[in-house]
C-alpha cells in the first residue's frame, strides 16, 4: 500500500538522465548557434546603446523639456505636464537622474519592440481562430511562468547584459498588446465591416480604414499595460545586468539599505505614473469622436 502514500514517481536515475539530456541538448545548441543568435540581436543592441547614450548625453534641461513636450502633445493636459516636470526635478534632486534615464531608455526600447512585434501578431490572431487557439496558451505561459525561469536559457544563450534583459522584459510585457490588439479588432462592429465590404474594400483597406482605427483605443490600453509591466520587470532584469533604477533596488535588498530601496522604488513609481497618465490620456483623445454632442 505504500504507493498510496508516496506518489509513484519516475525513478531518480531516469529523471536525472532526462534533465541531463535536456540541459546537454540546450548547451550544445548554445555552443553551436549562440554566436549567430547574438549577431542577430546586434541591431537591437545598437538601438539600446544609441537610445541610452541619447538620454545620458543630452543636457538634463533639454531632456525635461523634451519629455514635457511629448507629454503635452499626447495628453493636452496641463496637470499631467506639470506633474511630470516636478517628478523629474525631484528625481534629479535626489541624485537618481542617471539611473532614471537608463530605465526610461530601456522602457522606451522595450515598448517599441513590443509594439513592432506584438501588433502584427495580434492582427494575425484576429483573422484566424486557429492561430488564436495556438497563441493564447503561449501567452498564458509567458505571463505566468516565473520570470527567473526564462532568464536561465536567455542568459545561457546571450550572457549577461542589455540584450538578454531586453528579451526578458519583452517576453513578460508583450502579451497585453497582442491580446488587446486581437480583441480590439474582433470587437469592431460587424455592420461597419459589412459596409466597408459593400463598397468593395480590399482586405488591406478594410484593415487600414476600419479595423485598425476602431481598434486603436483598445490597442492603446494594451500599450499602456505593456509599459506598466515592462516597468515592473526593471528590478528583475537588473539581476542579469540591466542598468538603471533596478540595480540600486537590488543592492538595497542585498544590504538592507531601506532608504536607498525606498528612493529608487519611488522613482520607478514616479515614471510609471508619468507613462500611465500620458498614454491613457492619449488613448482617451483617440476616442474623441465617440463624444455625443447631439442630445
232 vs 286, which CB is nearer to another protein? 286
Query: Which of residues 78 and 288 has its CB atom nearest to another protein in the complex?
Result: 288
Q: What are phi and psi of 36, to 5 degrees?
A: -65, -45
Q: CB of 176: closest distance to another protein in angstroms?
A: 23
**Residue closer to another protein, measured from CB, 137 or 200:** 200
- What is the smallest separation between the CB atom of 13 and another protein, expressed in angstroms? 52
**Residue that has been written with the C-alpha cell 533596478 in this structure:** 246
Quote the crossing angle between the two packed helices 12-40 and 147-158, to the nearest 10°. Answer: 60
Q: Which is closer to another protein, CB of 78 or CB of 130?
A: 130
Q: List contacts with another protein (CB under 8 A).
A: 189, 191-192, 194-202, 205, 209-210, 213-214, 289-294
CB of 290 to another protein, least distance (A): 6
Rounded to the nearest whole angstrom, what is the least distance from the CB of residue 122 to another protein in the complex? 19
**How near is the Cβ of 185 to another protein at its closest, in Å?**
14
Give residues with Cβ within 8 angstroms of 30, minimum separation 6. Answer: 156, 157
Is-contact 277 79, C-beta < 8 A? no
Residue partners of 244: CB distance under 8 A and separation at least 6: 99, 100, 102, 103, 106, 234, 238
Q: Is the Cβ of residue 7 or residue 204 nearer to another protein in the bound state?
A: 204
Amino acid at each position: 500500500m505504500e504507493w498510496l502514500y508516496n506518489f509513484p514517481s519516475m525513478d531518480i536515475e531516469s529523471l536525472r538522465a532526462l534533465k541531463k539530456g535536456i540541459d546537454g541538448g540546450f548547451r550544445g545548441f548554445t555552443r553551436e548557434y549562440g554566436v549567430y543568435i547574438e549577431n542577430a540581436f546586434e541591431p537591437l543592441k545598437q538601438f539600446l546603446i544609441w537610445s541610452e547614450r541619447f538620454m545620458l548625453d543630452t543636457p538634463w534641461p533639454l531632456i525635461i523639456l523634451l519629455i514635457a513636450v511629448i507629454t503635452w502633445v499626447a495628453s493636452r493636459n496641463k496637470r499631467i505636464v506639470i506633474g511630470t516636470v516636478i517628478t523629474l526635478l525631484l528625481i534629479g534632486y535626489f541624485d537618481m537622474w542617471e539611473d532614471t534615464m537608463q530605465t526610461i531608455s530601456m522602457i522606451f526600447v522595450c515598448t517599441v519592440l513590443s509594439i513592432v512585434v506584438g501588433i502584427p501578431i495580434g492582427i494575425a490572431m484576429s483573422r484566424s481562430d486557429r492561430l488564436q487557439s495556438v497563441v493564447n496558451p503561449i501567452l498564458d505561459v509567458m505571463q505566468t511562468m516565473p520570470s527567473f525561469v526564462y532568464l536561465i536559457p536567455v542568459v545561457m544563450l546571450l550572457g549577461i547584459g542589455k540584450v538578454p534583459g531586453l528579451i526578458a522584459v519583452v517576453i513578460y510585457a508583450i502579451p497585453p498588446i497582442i491580446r488587446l490588439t486581437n480583441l480590439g479588432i474582433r470587437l469592431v462592429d460587424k455592420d461597419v465591416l459589412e459596409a466597408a465590404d459593400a463598397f468593395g474594400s480590399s482586405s488591406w483597406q478594410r484593415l487600414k480604414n476600419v479595423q485598425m482605427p476602431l481598434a486603436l483605443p483598445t490597442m492603446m490600453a494594451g500599450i499602456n499595460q505593456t509599459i506598466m509591466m515592462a516597468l515592473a520587470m526593471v528590478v528583475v532584469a537588473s539581476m542579469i545586468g540591466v542598468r538603471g533604477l533596478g540595480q540600486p533596488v537590488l543592492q538595497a535588498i542585498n544590504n538592507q539599505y531601506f532608504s536607498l530601496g525606498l528612493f529608487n522604488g519611488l522613482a520607478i513609481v514616479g515614471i510609471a505614473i508619468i507613462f500611465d497618465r500620458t498614454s491613457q490620456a492619449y488613448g482617451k483623445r483617440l476616442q474623441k469622436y465617440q463624444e455625443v454632442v447631439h442630445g
